[in-house]
Structure 1
Amino acid sequence: MSGLEIGHGGVIAVDTEQLREVGSRMRSVAMQCEEARAAIARAGALLASAPEAAPQVDIGALHRGGERIGVLRAELEDACAGTLLMADAFELVELRAQAEALALGDRAGASAVRARIHRLVDGDARVGVMADWLVAEWELTRHGGPPAPIGVGGLLPSLLLAAAFAGITSTLGKLPPGTTLKGVADPVRVTPTATSTPAGAPKGVAGALKRMPSTSAQVAVEKYTMVDGATRYVTYVKGTQNSSPWEGGGADPWDMKSNLQLYQGQRSASYQATVDALAAAGAEPGDRVDVVGYSQGGMIAAHLAMESDYDVALQLTAGSPQESSLADGQTLIQLSHSDDVVAKLAAGGSATGTGSPDSFTATREVDPQDGLYDLSLQPHALEAYIETAQLVDASSDPRAEALDAYWRELGDAVEVERTEFHAERVKQP
Structure 2
Amino acid sequence: MSDDLDIRHGGAIAVDTQVLRDVGVRVADVAAHFADVQASIRRAHGIIVDAPGFGAVLDTVALWASGDRAGELQARCEEASVGTLLMADAYELVELRARADALALTDAAAADALYSRIERLEASDDRLGGMADMLVAGWKDGRYAGLASQFDLGGVMAPLFVSGGLLGSALGLGKVHPGSTLSGRADPVTVRPVATSRPVGTPASLADAFRRLPGAPEAQIRIDRLTMSDGSTQFIAYIKGTQSPYFGAGDPWDMKSNAELYAGKTSASYQATLDALAAAGARPGDRVDLFAHSQAGMIASHLAMESEFDVQVMVTAGSPTEPTLREDQLLVQLVHSDDLVSSLAGGGSPGGTGSPDSFTVTREGDPSDGVQDVWMDTHWMHSYIVTAEMVDASDDPRAVALDDYWRMLDEAEVIESTQYRAERTGWAAP
Q: Structures share a fold, TM > 0.5?
A: yes
Distance (Å, rounded) in 2 between the aligned partners of 1:82 and 1:335: 23
Partner of 1:258: 257
Partner of 1:285: 284
Whether the 8 Å CA contact 2:249–2:427 is kept in 1: the answer is no
Q: Which amino acid aligns with 2:219?
A: A
Match status 1:238 vs 2:237 = no
Q: 1:19 deviation in Å? A: 5.4
Match status 1:390 vs 2:389 = yes
1:338-417 matched pairs, under 5 angstroms: 338-347=337-346, 349-417=348-416
Partner of 2:323: 324
TM-score normalised by structure 1 residue count: 0.66
Q: Which amino acid aligns with 1:282?
A: G
Distance (Å, rounded) in 2 between the aligned partners of 1:382 and 1:2: 22
Distance (Å, rounded) in 1 between the aligned partners of 2:221 and 2:289: 13
Q: 1:218 aligns with which of 200, 217, 220?
A: 220
Q: 1:20 deviation in Å? A: 4.8
Distance (Å, rounded) in 2 between the aligned partners of 1:165 and 1:420: 36
Match status 1:336 vs 2:338 = no
Q: Which runs of 5+ in 1 are unaligned?
A: 27-75, 91-162
Distance (Å, rounded) in 2 between the aligned partners of 1:224 and 1:267: 28
Whether the 8 Å CA contact 1:291–1:315 is kept in 2: the answer is yes
Distance (Å, rounded) in 1 between the aligned partners of 2:242 and 2:144: 25
Q: 1:427 deviation in Å? A: 1.6
SS across alignment from 1:301? helix
Deviations 1:64-121 (A, max 9, x none): xxxxxxxxxxxx43xx34754896xx6xxxxxxxxxxxxxxxxxxxxxxxxxxxxxxx
Q: Is the alpha carbon distance of 1:425 and 1:395 closer, same or farther for their aligned partners in structure 2, counting shifts above 3 Å? A: same
Q: Is the alpha carbon distance of 1:83 and 1:4 closer, same or farther for their aligned partners in structure 2, counting shifts above 3 Å? A: closer
Whether the 8 Å CA contact 2:7–2:361 is kept in 1: the answer is yes
Deviations 1:32-90 (A, max 9, x none): xxxxxxxxxxxxxxxxxxxxxxxxxxxxxxxxxxxxxxxxxxxx43xx34754896xx6
Whether the 8 Å CA contact 2:330–2:357 is kept in 1: the answer is yes
Whether the 8 Å CA contact 2:145–2:337 is kept in 1: the answer is no
1:2-151 matched pairs, under 5 angstroms: 3-10=4-11, 20-22=148-150, 25-26=151-152, 76-77=153-154, 80-81=155-156, 84=159
Q: 1:256 deviation in Å? A: 0.4
Whether the 8 Å CA contact 1:172–1:348 is kept in 2: the answer is no
Partner of 1:121: none
Partner of 2:117: none
Which is higher, the Rg of structure 1 or of structure 2? 2
Whether the 8 Å CA contact 1:196–1:418 is kept in 2: the answer is yes
SS across alignment from 2:422? strand
Distance (Å, rounded) in 1 between the aligned partners of 2:274 and 2:420: 11
SS across alignment from 1:179? coil
Distance (Å, rounded) in 1 between the aligned partners of 2:385 and 2:415: 23
Partner of 1:111: none
Q: Is the alpha carbon distance of 1:373 and 1:423 closer, same or farther for their aligned partners in structure 2, counting shifts above 3 Å? A: same
Partner of 1:159: none
Q: Is the alpha carbon distance of 1:371 and 1:231 closer, same or farther for their aligned partners in structure 2, counting shifts above 3 Å? A: same
Whether the 8 Å CA contact 1:13–1:167 is kept in 2: the answer is no
Q: Is the alpha carbon distance of 1:283 and 1:16 closer, same or farther for their aligned partners in structure 2, counting shifts above 3 Å? A: closer
Q: 1:13 deviation in Å? A: 6.5
Distance (Å, rounded) in 2 between the aligned partners of 1:422 and 1:325: 29
Distance (Å, rounded) in 1 between the aligned partners of 2:325 and 2:224: 23
Distance (Å, rounded) in 2 between the aligned partners of 1:359 and 1:305: 14
Partner of 1:35: none
SS across alignment from 2:372? helix
Partner of 2:54: none
Q: Which amino acid aligns with 2:243?
A: Q
Tell me the matched-pair count: 299
Distance (Å, rounded) in 2 between the aligned partners of 1:345 and 1:389: 21
Q: 1:373 deviation in Å? A: 2.4
Distance (Å, rounded) in 1 between the aligned partners of 2:161 and 2:343: 15
SS across alignment from 1:333? strand
Q: 1:347 deviation in Å? A: 2.1
Distance (Å, rounded) in 2 between the aligned partners of 1:16 and 1:229: 47
Q: Which amino acid aligns with 1:325?
A: T
Q: Which amino acid aligns with 1:263?
A: Y
Q: Which amino acid aligns with 2:391?
A: V
Q: Is the alpha carbon distance of 1:359 and 1:18 closer, same or farther for their aligned partners in structure 2, counting shifts above 3 Å? A: closer
Q: Is the alpha carbon distance of 1:404 and 1:85 closer, same or farther for their aligned partners in structure 2, counting shifts above 3 Å? A: closer
Whether the 8 Å CA contact 1:170–1:348 is kept in 2: the answer is no
Distance (Å, rounded) in 1 between the aligned partners of 2:414 and 2:3: 37
Q: Is the alpha carbon distance of 1:351 and 1:222 closer, same or farther for their aligned partners in structure 2, counting shifts above 3 Å? A: same
Whether the 8 Å CA contact 2:144–2:165 is kept in 1: the answer is no
Q: Which amino acid aligns with 1:220?
A: R
Q: Is the alpha carbon distance of 1:403 and 1:18 closer, same or farther for their aligned partners in structure 2, counting shifts above 3 Å? A: closer
Q: 1:21 deviation in Å? A: 4.1
Whether the 8 Å CA contact 2:237–2:289 is kept in 1: the answer is yes
Whether the 8 Å CA contact 1:176–1:324 is kept in 2: the answer is yes
Partner of 2:197: 196
* % identical equivalent positions: 52
Q: Which amino acid aligns with 2:203?
A: P
SS across alignment from 1:222? strand
Partner of 1:167: 168
Q: 1:9 deviation in Å? A: 1.9
Distance (Å, rounded) in 2 between the aligned partners of 1:223 and 1:85: 42
Deviations 1:351-394 (A, max 9, x none): 01000011001111122122222223111110111111111111
Q: Is the alpha carbon distance of 1:16 and 1:203 closer, same or farther for their aligned partners in structure 2, counting shifts above 3 Å? A: closer
Deviations 1:160-214 (A, max 9, x none): xxx4685263411111111110000000000001110000100011111000002
